[in-house]
Structure formats: C-alpha cells, structure tokens
Homo-oligomer: A and B are copies of this chain.
Amino acid sequence: MSHLRLALCQLDTVVGELDGNAARIIDSLARVEAEGADIVAFPELAITGYPPEDLLLKPAFVAHNLAALERVAAATSTCAALVGFVDVAGDEDLDDAVAHAAGAGAVAREAAIRGAPRRLRNAVAVCAGGCVVGVYHKRRLPNYGVFDEERWFAPGTAPLQLYEVAGMSVGVSICEDLWFPNGAIPLQAAGGAGLVVNVNASPYSMARQADRLAVARERVAESGCNIAYVNQVGGQDELVFDGGSFVMDANGDLLAEAARFTQATLVVDIPVHAGSRPPTLPVIAVSVGPRDPVARRPPAIPAPLTEEAEVYEALVVGTRDYIRKNGFTDAVIGLSGGVDSSLVAAIAVDALGAAHVHGLSMPSRYSSRGSVTDATTLAEQLGIDLCGVPIEAVHSAFTEVLVGALGTVPTGLTDENLQSRIRGVVLMAVSNARGWIVLTTGNKSELATGYSTLYGDSAGGFAVIKDVPKTLVYRLCRYRNSREGRELIPESVLTKPPSAELRPDQRDDQSLPPYDTLDPLIEALVLNDRSIADVAGSGYDPELVARVASLVDGAEYKRRQSPPGVRITAKAFGKDRRMPITNRYRDPAPETMSTVPGAGTSRDDGAVPGA
C-alpha cells in the first residue's frame, strides 16, 4: 500500500516578526523535505504569529504579510506546504458593500473604516512548486473568551476544494472549523478527502488537549477521514500555546502525537487506499515530489501530562517567552518567604536559569524571622542571588512625611499598603538600574478578591501566577519538589499559615475564607458565571458566597491595572473576562440571607471602594 508522508511543524512563531516567521517556515520546510515529506503543515497565521490583534488594522502590516507569504511560496519545491497568513481577497458581497458605502456621502469615511478590516480573511495558502496553488479561508470565527476574530476577519464563503498529494485527496481547515458539526471537514470528506489538515493556534488551558482529541474523534466519526491537527507552541502575552499536534485515523485511533510545550516536527506516513471513489469536489493536483516507497513506523505517542505538570510547563513557557520575546535576559523577584514568591522564583529559574534570576528580600518591622530565613533557604536551594533591602528607614521617613498630610501617623490599611508600595518602588528601581524585569507574585485567589496592593505587590512587568488559585499554588510547589526529589521550596514555606506580614500577627484567614473554601467559590462565580443563589444551593453558606461575590465585583479596578500573566484556566482575568469597572449590578442574595456584607478586603486601597 502506498502512503502519504505528512509533516506537522509545531513552531514557536513571534507576533509581528514577519520576516523571522517566514525564515522559520522556510528552514522547517527544507528539513522536512529532506525527510521525504510530501506535505507539511504550519500553524494558523504562521506568517504573522497569533494573535496579531490590531496590527491587522495597519494596511502596511497586511501588505508585508503578503510579501512574506510570497517568499515562503517561492521556497517550496517537492513538498507541498500549508502556510497560515492574512488574506485580503475580497468577495463580491464585501466589494459591493464597500463600494456602496464609499459613494454614500458624508458617511463614506465612516463606512470605509468600519468595513475595511472585515475584508481580511484568516487564511491558509497551499504552496507547492514555487507558488501558491490554492487558498482556504477560515469559516468559523471565534469571537468569545480571549478571541476577537470577527473584529478583523470576514468568514470564508468560497467553494471548497481539495488538493491531490501523493495519491490522496487532502482538505484544509482552520482551528474553529473543527469544533462544530456540519462544517468544512465533513463536507470535504464527503467530497472525497481522505485526509483533512486542521491548522491551529489553540491556546492552553487545563485539560484542553483531552477536549481537542475528543472533538477530533467526533469529527472523524462524522466524516470518516483522517484528521491531522497542527498547533503552534510558545507564549504570547497572556496566552501560552501548548502544541500537542496529532494525527488521528479514520477509526478515531491516534497515529501520532507531538510533545507539548516545545517545538516539534511530527512526520507520519498515512496509508493511501487505492481505488477509493473519485472526489466530487474540485481537486487541484499538487503532487510534485519523488516518493519514499518505504513507510516508516509512526513515532511513539507521549504519555499524557498530569495536571500539575502541564500547568507548571505552561507557566515556565509563558514566563520565558514573555521575557525573551520582549528582549530581557534577567528577572528580579521580591522574596517574602511565602509560598507565592517561592513558586514564582522556581518557575523563573526553570525559565531563565538560576544565574538570571535575582531575589530581593525586603523585610519590614513586621516580617517574621522565619520568613526571612525561608527566603534565604529558598535562594540557596534554587542557586539564585539574594539581596537584603530592609525598608524600615524608608517606612519611617514616609510615616513622618505623611503626618504632615494626614495630621496623624498612617495606620491600618494605609500603613499596610504603604509597606507594600515601598517594596514595589525598590523593585522598580532595581529593574530600572539593572534592566531586569520585575516578576510579580500575586495568585488568582488574591486577584479575584482584591487582596493585594495596587502599585505594591502587584507592580511589575509580568504576573506569573495570576491565573493560579492559591490551592493550586501549593500543589505546584509540591509537584516541583517531588520532581526534584528534594525540598527545592522549603517545607516550612508550605506549612506555615499564609500571611502578608503587614501588621503584627496578620494572617490571610483574618480577611478571607480559607483558600480551600474560597477557590471553589471563585471558580463557580467567575469561571462559571453562576449566581449567588445557585452557588449557595450547592451547599455553601449564602452569606459567604455573597461576600466573595462582592469582593470579586469590587476588585475589578485593581485587576484592570495588573500586568499580563499566564492564562491556565478556561477563564483568566484578562481578555477573557471583560467586566465594567463602573458596575452597580448586585446579584440578589438568596432569601435565606439576613444581610449582605459590604465589600472591601483588609488590603483594599481606596482607588475605588468595593461597593
């Protein structure tokens, strides 16, 4: 039986680096051609990187993307290449609309501005023998969660076509097209495709790979053809792309799967069944290469990652890529001896190497001896340098100056936030002087409830664990220690009660419910958008649920000013959740409740009160 040799190139592209991405594609193409590949697929929008966002509104950017595609196409010879790019091919409907608007008087400018970006298409070019032989336009445009594709693109409406490669009819589709029944894939299969390649820029969230395999199995069941899924890899602002490219046969069996979170090329031979019925869709013959007559054994399928392992890898990749792609080499972290900063330091060391991570210990009059010792031990275990910068002298100087403004010594929240902000200023001064990026250490439980200080502990360039709930922070620390086989993060860090140490004997649970109660409530209210009554109906204290909901609502203004960080859940605070700050909606409490407590955590900082 003959075969088609398919290569999936799981590349780490960089948004906006048009020439660099084209060079990455051309390099990979040469490599897989040398391995005898008949066809190679690259990720969605591989030329521009994903997501290019409002760069797409710049006509020059789109033109440069087309020029880069032409260079890639010119580099193809015996191996066909599927290359994601931004197409400007209009269709008649759109041309008419724009022409009509342009002739419509005063509104012309308006309509042209509104209509023009939507003429773009999220596209894949089929390139072979030095030119573009066909183009597919994405038909389903995601416009929810972190996605805004209808902001820039019009959906594809052109008739489907197939490409004959090594005796097999091949269909092309893009990402979201896979996720709905009755779409391009079953139509291509019904029209004669033996293989449909689906090119993706699918961001990571927990357990996402299992979803992808499940939906591919559904499409296979619907279509009866082989499906190849290629994904990009690497971090882009808050998103991490996790790869996991795979090939599934017409029985729903996995033929091959690439490693996650790393660049990889998967080369798979797919049997071509002679005597299949002739395609009914139009077919463009692109079969140009000499064939390797000997089919190779498929590569081994990697074992699935545990939840902790995949989240940890996502955090490392997201952190490393944000830092490196923005031109930094080193990071600085305030080490309090607490669990959050300890985890962030461990991630940073795995991302950058210990020599490029720098700790600052900034004890105040309220810091415990144990915390200072824990920070020192952590730095030793990680092999990073640690510089002590006691903030007492600055704290005293501020206190004195503020007496002039306030008529009294600052106390309570004002004094707690003051200490946190002094540390923020020290970190930023070191960042300015050394050129190191500041990594902030707040977790999702804090970000959700506003239990942090604006411009204080939340100040910095990248918020590594902003989407990691506190209970998962602990699990990740234990995972990393267990992987290392020793206490990389000291056990005492994991066992002492969490505290901000901004006043004597402070503990988080004086302001917040215990984290193993809080985290499921945040998931119910934020990720699942459930009402207070609904959550309370699942067995939670209604007053507690209402209080947490109120904290979440009241902290939106702080979240809006937080740095980007890695998304690991299906709904991070960021592009995923677009809540108004000015928002008087208060989900009515269940009738069993006596009062709704007011908002405001013990570390609220007054830029906007919670209620």
Chain A residues within 8 Å of B, Cβ to Cβ = 14-18, 20, 51-55, 57-61, 64, 97, 100-101, 104-107, 110-111, 113-114, 117-118, 142-144, 148, 150-151, 179-182, 211, 214-215, 217-218, 235-237, 321-322, 325-328, 360, 387-391, 393-394, 396-398, 400-402, 404-406, 410, 413-414, 417-418, 421-422, 424-426, 428-438, 454-455, 459-461, 529, 531, 533-534, 557, 560-564, 577-588, 605-609, 611
Partner of A425, one of B51, B180, B422, B588: B422
Query: Could you tell me the distance in whole angstroms from the C-beta of A536 to the nearest C-beta in chain B?
Result: 12
Given A151-B143, A428-B455, A431-B605, residue A55 in contact with residue B437 (CB < 8 A): no
Query: Chain B residues with Cβ under 8 A from A325's Cβ?
Result: 582, 584
Top 8 nearest A-B pairs (CB, nearest first) are A16-B585, A106-B214, A60-B531, A17-B584, A397-B397, A461-B607, A414-B432, A455-B455
Partner of A389, one of B182, B401, B461: B401
The distance in angstroms between the C-alpha atoms of A97 and B140, with both chains bound, is: 13
Given A580-B236, A608-B328, residue A406 in contact with residue B394 (CB < 8 A): no
Given A425-B425, A437-B608, residue A529 in contact with residue B326 (CB < 8 A): no
The distance in angstroms between the C-alpha atoms of A531 and B60, with both chains bound, is: 6
Query: Chain B residues with Cβ under 8 A from A114's Cβ?
Result: 142, 144, 179
Partner of A393, one of B113, B401, B436, B460: B401
Query: Chain B residues with Cβ under 8 A from A557's Cβ?
Result: 326, 461, 563
Query: Chain B residues with Cβ under 8 A from A235's Cβ?
Result: 582
Q: Provide 26 A-B residue pairs closer than 8 Å at the C-beta atoms, listed in order of the A residue.
A: A55-B579, A58-B587, A59-B529, A60-B534, A105-B218, A114-B142, A117-B144, A148-B578, A326-B581, A327-B608, A401-B426, A402-B429, A405-B430, A406-B429, A410-B429, A421-B424, A428-B605, A428-B606, A435-B609, A437-B606, A455-B455, A455-B459, A460-B607, A461-B608, A557-B563, A561-B562
- Counting chain B CB atoms within 10 Å of each CB, the highest count among A413, A417, A429, A531 belongs to A429
Q: Establish whether residues B15 and A57, one from each chain, have CB atoms under 8 Å apart when the complex forms.
A: no
Closest to A436 in B: B606
Query: Could you tell me the distance in whole angstroms from the C-beta of A487 to the nearest C-beta in chain B?
Result: 28
Query: Chain B residues with Cβ under 8 A from A563's Cβ?
Result: 557, 560-561, 607
Query: Could you tell me the distance in whole angstroms from the C-beta of A16 to the nearest C-beta in chain B?
Result: 3
Q: Establish whether residues B405 and A387, one from each chain, have CB atoms under 8 Å apart when the complex forms.
A: yes
Query: Chain B residues with Cβ under 8 A from A100's Cβ?
Result: 181-182
The distance in angstroms between the C-alpha atoms of A611 and B17, with both chains bound, is: 12
Query: Could you tell me the distance in whole angstroms from the C-beta of A49 to the nearest C-beta in chain B?
Result: 8
The distance in angstroms between the C-alpha atoms of A577 and B605, with both chains bound, is: 28
Q: Establish whether residues A531 and B59, one from each chain, have CB atoms under 8 Å apart when the complex forms.
A: yes
Q: Establish whether residues B405 and A401, one from each chain, have CB atoms under 8 Å apart when the complex forms.
A: no
Given A16-B583, A181-B104, residue A405 in contact with residue B389 (CB < 8 A): yes
The distance in angstroms between the C-alpha atoms of A601 and B282, with both chains bound, is: 56
Q: Establish whether residues B529 and A58, one from each chain, have CB atoms under 8 Å apart when the complex forms.
A: yes
Query: Could you tell me the distance in whole angstroms from the C-beta of A181 to the nearest C-beta in chain B?
Result: 5
Query: Chain B residues with Cβ under 8 A from A118's Cβ?
Result: 144
The distance in angstroms between the C-alpha atoms of A53 and B577, with both chains bound, is: 9
Query: Could you tell me the distance in whole angstroms from the C-beta of A150 to the nearest C-beta in chain B?
Result: 5
Closest to A581 in B: B237
Query: Chain B residues with Cβ under 8 A from A54's Cβ?
Result: 577-579
The distance in angstroms between the C-alpha atoms of A93 and B476, with both chains bound, is: 45
With A422-B425, A428-B605 given, name 20 new contacts (CB 8 A). Answer: A16-B580, A16-B584, A16-B586, A55-B579, A60-B534, A114-B142, A144-B151, A321-B582, A326-B582, A360-B405, A387-B405, A389-B402, A414-B433, A418-B429, A421-B429, A428-B607, A431-B605, A432-B605, A437-B608, A461-B557
The distance in angstroms between the C-alpha atoms of A582 and B15, with both chains bound, is: 7
Partner of A611, one of B14, B148, B327, B583: B327
Query: Could you tell me the distance in whole angstroms from the C-beta of A390 to the nearest C-beta in chain B?
Result: 7
Q: Establish whether residues B181 and A584, one from each chain, have CB atoms under 8 Å apart when the complex forms.
A: no
Q: Establish whether residues A211 and B106, one from each chain, have CB atoms under 8 Å apart when the complex forms.
A: yes
Q: Establish whether residues B580 and A53, one from each chain, have CB atoms under 8 Å apart when the complex forms.
A: yes
The distance in angstroms between the C-alpha atoms of A435 and B606, with both chains bound, is: 6
Query: Chain B residues with Cβ under 8 A from A579's Cβ?
Result: 53-55
Q: Establish whether residues A421 and B410, one from each chain, have CB atoms under 8 Å apart when the complex forms.
A: no
Closest to A147 in B: B151
Partner of A179, one of B111, B582, B587: B111
Query: Chain B residues with Cβ under 8 A from A390's Cβ?
Result: 401
Given A101-B181, A179-B114, A421-B428, residue A106 in contact with residue B218 (CB < 8 A): yes
Query: Could you tell me the distance in whole angstroms from the C-beta of A364 to the nearest C-beta in chain B?
Result: 12
The distance in angstroms between the C-alpha atoms of A406 and B418, with both chains bound, is: 22
